Structure 1
Amino acid sequence: MTTASHPPTSQPPQRSPYAAAPTTAAQPALQETPVREPREDSPLVGKGPRIEAVDTGLHVLRGQGNSFVIELDEGLVIVDAGPGGKVTAGMIEAVRHISDAPVHAICYSHGHLGYNAGVPQWLAHAQARGEPAPRLIAHANVPRRYARYDETGALQRRMAEIQFRQPHGFFDRHLHNTRPTETFEHRLTLGQGVRRAELLWAPSETDDAIAVWLPEQKVLYGGPALIDSIPNVGTPFRTMRDAVRWADTLERLAGLGAELALREFGPPIVGAEQVRQVLGHTAQALRWLRAEVVQRMNDGMGEREVLASMAYPPELFDVDWMKPTYGDPSYIVRDIYRSENGWWDRNPTSLHPASPQAVAEAQAAAITDKAAVIAQAQALAERGEHQLALHVIDLLATAQGDDSALAEARRLKAQWLRERARQVRSYVSRSLYQVCADRIEGGQAQAFGIR
């Protein structure tokens, strides 16, 4: 495995071609950065005591999920600085209850927005204590991701508002990025001796994810590769994630021989056998999904046909660590499908489509008996077939206008979206159903292309 290590004085990573200009690392001090807090029911809020020892010199620190603290001779290593504001302030305070050592390094578990928005507060904390700025360490792919996020900042914030059910503007000052000062490709070692920490590239949810391995203590911090629910592949707003690559990473991490594995979200996995079982089983489920989708694609099925034909074996998916509480197995199916297919839905009408509004208006105008469409949709809903009812009501509900039948169709659509939110387990699906219902009822759906 290639090793790439950089001293604290190394040059910043080369700027990505995505970016016209880099984002400066300088950020306002803590008292000048008001950040509203996440909802208490957000899956991103860490649960449990703020800081908890898991082994000698090793601590789980609750921030945006589970951060990780390692006590080295050189100082503290913090994995993920938190989302900023009061959460990160609480993280800093909790760390100071267990150690007065300087922060030697802040490591980015991956490049997703929010997990390290609190870096400026840690930098300000070090400065106030008269200590050198911590090393900011990330995988080499993080700067490129940050450049892409800078370019699409408004889009990223709007998607986050919908996915996490936050008011418009909530993330405008919440999702800033601080570039790492050092990057590595495959492995980087911090410290030496009993508490040597090895940063390992662990591509999974992102191509810039890392894990942290303490070989002498046999403790693994899995980062985003290791969560307490089904792997987060294929969520509706996100770019494609490779299920097989995630399985490869889990199998590689399982081979380390960890006796304690810490998840980015959820409780730790205790015992070498349980660690191997959870990681190996999850990898097996991902490979099963890949094989099943590939077989159906080779048989000529399109995406919707593949989705309709899937049945998920309970022995693979009805276990504690595969719960669809955030993602969903059907999301993974979609991502596997699109990894081998283009955007076309195989309906030739959609190759060069008319505008969505023109289609909706023409469709509604062609229906002379709108009451019959509404009645049929209502009959389906009364039988508990809310998804079919939504497909039928969309014949009218996507059209704008004050026509009473169209208004009734929109009202029913919002009502049935809320019902679907009660029926599904995935947090993301529930959020999208509920927010879309809110926007349809408020006449704001078109602002983000919601129909």
Structure 2
Amino acid sequence: MHRLTALLLAASIASTAAAQDAASEATRAAQADIAARLALDDPRDMANATRGKIAEIADGVIVARDGRVIWDRRPYAFLNSATAPDTVNPSLWRQARLNAVHGLFEVVPGHIWQLRGYDLSVMTVIRGRSGWIIVDPLLSEEAAAASWKLFSDTVEVKDGKRPIKAILFSHSHSDHFGGVGGIVTPEQVAREKIRIIAPHGFSEEATSENILAGNAMSRRALYMFGSILPPGPQGQVDTGLGPRLSAGTIGYMEPTETVPATDATLSIDGLAFEFLDAGGTEAPSEFVFYVPAFKALHTTEVVTRNLHNVLTLRGAQVRDALRWSKVIDAALLKWGGKAEVALASHHWPTWGADEVSELLANQRDAYRYVHDRALFHANRGATLHEIAEATAEAPVQSRDFSTRGYYGTLNHDLKAVYQRYFGWWDGNPATFNPIPPEKSAPKYVALAGGADKLLAAGRAAIAAGDYRWAAELLGKLVFAEPDNTAARDALASAYDQIGYQAESGAWRNYYLAAAATLRGNAVAAGTDNGRSRSFVRAIPTEVFFDALATRFDAEKGAALTGTFQFILPDSKEAVAVVVGGGVEFPRFGVTDAAPTATVTIDRATLDDIMLGAAQFPALMQAGKIRIDGDRMAFLTWFALHPTADPAFNIVVP
């Protein structure tokens, strides 16, 4: 079935969608098992998560100037109960309750504060000699502005107004820099000489990571973060890494300086900051740092209160678990025994020199375990799925909640390590060139003796509590017959139970969002993030044209040849796009001697197009685009770049 037909079908069944299932007996047994294995009533994490709280935003509600709700913790009041419902893994429930604690916290009295619970990430404020040093100003400008106001209204009212002297972007993911415009303006940065400090390679990584594959990543992120689920015990409760994504505007400012790959010490507003390069771990561009004056170690997103993703469910390049473990060990060797508090870009701090060293050692061991066990089994012939099935939890995971799979999972991380070294293929020729699911599914249905028999087998697996097998069977039937509502409902039931049992917030969200999609009752995306002009302006022109090339319809444009020269007067850039044989190749910085057509367009006008603020035909009529040469050839080429579908199907064909 074509995707459009499937989308229309989903809309048509929304009003009669089956109700979400309650927890089954098998799920209740699984929840009881993990509750019995773990010391879920250990009070130390909650004591740390609430320690030093001095203020909060009323009800946890942040509203933009135009009235849009950016952040609202009121629908999560169900987390006030200490007892997990049957529909939530009790270990994930514990993590969600810890992440739900929101407010302004004093970490090092009089010197370091954190704003937690107002975005997926955490913002840190450090008192320098004469002003404030801000670390990671959240994802959205609105969330950052509200958090900064809370800090100013609480701390500055008592201690006096001080200027912002520096802003640190710890790494290249947007939930750690996107809110900067809510705290300072570019004019303020220039006028007051505010330092914006980032790790080396930051600018390229921050503005390009999600551009080439951004449409697919964004679509999958809706599932991973539970953005199409309502909050509730049968819906979105947490992501594991933090509550959820704020729904505001993502901005950008160019760093004024970067920290080199070699270990470096910088003086920032009179304080010494010791940096350790962590690029290639959780992010391509990243650092951790230590402030000796306060014996405070900021572990960024290299060490958080969970096992992280070696390969995120939304999609990204596979991360290096081996380097990850070595960077943590380097931090342990460098600052272990010295640091008396460890704080990060997510979650809550750890206090005490011994406790900090233990945290680092345990996190190091978790990532090393993932790496070494994957290769141990792979070098004995195991495939990625066999590795994940055969590997038990690391010993450390049973005694340290910070290493549990609340976001990344041992299962998925092991597969990611395999993929990093060997690729997606398991080496078996039977799986080297498989038939695509939409073509193979009808064959499986026929082999099973028809849809009714396959549906019955799937339902029997559900009744037996064998939900993974049920999902495999019913997934074939749904791909063969997408309009089979009984099959969709049964598959959704299997996904419900797998989601309920998941300890990972990301896994739970993905399964439950898939179930909601099958039933046709997924809610409108809970995040409405938009990239600001500052973010779009920062995207390198070269990356923009590389992304444009990924949209070229090679099948329809196989016979087209030519060179289309772009001249961008305002940015003084040139790009020659060479087309032929179904391939579009941009040559950045090149001026072709005899182009098929020359297009003169300001880079600022390209930004308008990327932002959706202007359409190409209207710009041509307005004279903002000049085309010299073979105008028809250019228009033919331009028409061969259809927009990607932002709502493409994931759980149905």
Q: How would you bin the TM-score normalised by the shorter chain?
A: 0.7 to 0.9
2:181, 2:251 within 8 Å by CA — same for their partners in 1?
Answer: no
2:514 is aligned to 436
Which is worse superposed, 67-76 or 184-193?
184-193
Find the counterpart in structure 1 of residue 274 from structure 2: 198
Per the alignment, residue 106 of structure 2 pairs with 52
The structure 2 residue matched to 1:98, chosen from 139, 149, 155, is 155
Q: Deviations over 1:361-403 (max 9, x none)?
A: 343345433322222222221121111111222231222444x
Paired residues of 1:77 and 1:107 also in contact (CA < 8 A): yes
Q: Say yes or no: does 1:339 pair with 2:420.
A: yes
Query: Are 1:448 and 2:649 an aligned pair?
Result: yes
Which residue matches 1:246?
324
Does the residue aligned with 2:132 lie in a helix, a strand or coil? strand
Q: Quote the Cα distance in structure 2 between the aligned partners of 1:241 and 1:144.
A: 17
Higher relative contact order (Cα pairs below 8 Å, separated by 6+ residues): 2
- Quickly say closer, same or farther: Cα 1:342–1:232, change in 2 above 3 A: closer
Mapping of 1:77-88 within 5 angstroms?
Answer: 77-88=133-144
1:146-165 to 2 correspondence within 5 Å? 146-165=207-226
Residue matched to 1:14: none
* Cα pair 2:178 2:250 within 8 Å, conserved: yes
Amino acid at match of 1:253: A
- Name the CA shift for 1:159/1:437 in 2 (closer, same or farther; >3 Å): same
How far does residue 350 in structure 1 lie from its aligned partner after superposition?
A: 4.4
The answer to whether the 8 A contact 1:46-1:265 is kept is no
Output one character per residue of 1:171-226: Cα deviation in whole Å (capped at 9) or x when no partner. 89644443323222233513376x32234323431132222211132111111012
Q: Which runs of 5+ in 1 are unaligned?
A: 1-29
1:113-154 per-residue CA deviation (whole Å, 9 max, x = no partner) reads 222211112223984x99626322211222222223234333
- Is 1:319 matched with 2:400? yes
For residues 274-331 of structure 1, the C-alpha deviation after alignment (integer angstroms, 9 at most, x for no partner) is 1111111221232223222211111111111111111124444442222222221112
Amino acid at match of 2:453: A
- What is the SS of the residue equivalent to 1:138? strand
* Alpha-carbon displacement from aligned partner over 1:323-343 (angstroms, at most 9, x marks no partner): 222221112211211121112
Alpha-carbon distance between aligned partners in 2 of 1:332 and 1:259, rounded to the nearest angstrom: 30
Give the residue type in structure 2 aligned to 1:155: A
Classify 1:320/1:167 alpha carbon distance in 2 versus 1 (closer, same or farther; 3 Å): closer
Determine whether 1:416 maps to 2:494: yes
Which is further off, 419-428 or 332-341? 332-341
- The separation in 2 between residues aligned to 1:176 and 1:148, in whole angstroms, is 15
1:107, distance to aligned residue in structure 2 (A): 0.8
Q: Which amino acid aligns with 1:36?
A: I
Greater mean alpha carbon deviation, residues 425-434 or residues 113-122: 113-122
- 1:73 aligns with 129
* Identity score, percent: 23
The residue aligned with 2:381 is 300
Question: Which ranges of structure 2 fall in alignment gaps of 5 or more residues?
Answer: 1-63, 77-94, 230-244, 523-645
* Alignment match of 1:141 (pick from 183, 194, 201): 201
Shift of 1:227: 1.0
Contact 1:74-1:191 at 8 Å conserved across structures:
no
In 2, Cα distance between equivalents of 1:130 and 1:137: 14
Distance 1:308 1:295 in 2: 14
Matched, 1:184 2:259: yes
**Contact residue 136 and residue 168 of structure 2 kept, 8 A:** yes
1:208 to 273, 285, 288: 285
Q: Cα–Cα, structure 1 residues 150 and 120, in superposed 2: closer, same or farther, change >3 Å?
A: farther
* 2:298/2:344 contact within 8 Å kept: yes
Match of 2:526 in 1: none
SS in 1 for 2:297: strand
RMSD: 3.1
What is the CA–CA distance in structure 2 between the aligned matches of 1:141 and 1:47, rounded to whole Å? 34
The alignment covers a number of residue pairs equal to: 416
Q: 1:248 to 1:295 in 2, by over 3 A?
A: same
Structure with higher Rg: it is 2
User: How far apart, CA to CA, are the structure 2 residues paired with 1:265 and 1:47?
Assistant: 12
Assess, with a 3 A threshold, how the Cα gap between structure 1 residues 412 and 439 changes in structure 2: closer, same or farther: same
In the superposition, relative to structure 1, how do residues 45 and 316 fare at CA in structure 2: closer, same or farther (>3 Å)?
closer
User: Pairwise mapping of residues 237-316 of structure 1 onto structure 2 (< 5 A)?
Assistant: 237-238=314-315, 239-255=317-333, 256=335, 257-316=338-397
Q: d(CA) in 2 for partners of 1:52 and 1:386?
A: 45
TM-score with structure 1 setting the length: 0.82
Answer yes or no: is the 8 Å Cα contact 1:36–1:85 preserved in 2: no
Distance across 2 between alignment mates of 1:158 and 1:313: 32
With over 3 angstroms needed to count, the CA separation of the structure-2 counterparts of 1:371 and 1:347, relative to structure 1, is farther
Residues 1:231 and 2:308 aligned together: yes
Compared with structure 1, are the counterparts of its residues 174 and 401 closer, same or farther at alpha carbon in structure 2 (3 Å cutoff)?
A: same
- The CA distance in 2 between the partners of 1:421 and 1:441, in whole Å, is 15
Distance of 1:446 and 1:300 partners within structure 2:
39
Query: Partner residue of 2:460?
Result: 379
Does 2:220 align with 1:220? no
Counterpart residue number, 1:109:
170
Letter in 1 for 2:305: D
Deviates more, 1:350-359 or 1:245-254: 350-359
- Report the equivalent of 1:89: 145
Task: Output the amino acid matched with 1:59.
Answer: W
Assess, with a 3 A threshold, how the Cα gap between structure 1 residues 34 and 208 changes in structure 2: closer, same or farther: farther
For the residues of structure 1 that align with 2:273 and 2:379, how far apart are their CA atoms?
A: 45
1:394-409 maps to which residues of 2 (within 5 A)? Answer: 394-402=475-483, 406-409=484-487
Q: Distance in 2 between matches of 1:120 and 1:351?
A: 48
Q: Distance in 2 between matches of 1:35 and 1:124?
A: 23
Deviation at 1:420, TM superposition (A): 0.6
* Contact 1:235–1:428 (Cα < 8 Å) also in 2: no
| Cα pair distance change 1:375/1:450, threshold 3 Å | closer
Query: How many Å separate the matches in 2 of 1:448 and 1:181?
Result: 42
Instruction: Give the Cα–Cα distance (whole angstroms) in 2 for the partners of residues 446 and 83 of structure 1.
Output: 23
| Residues 74-102 of structure 1: per-residue CA shift (max 9 Å, x gap) | 52110011222442122221332324211
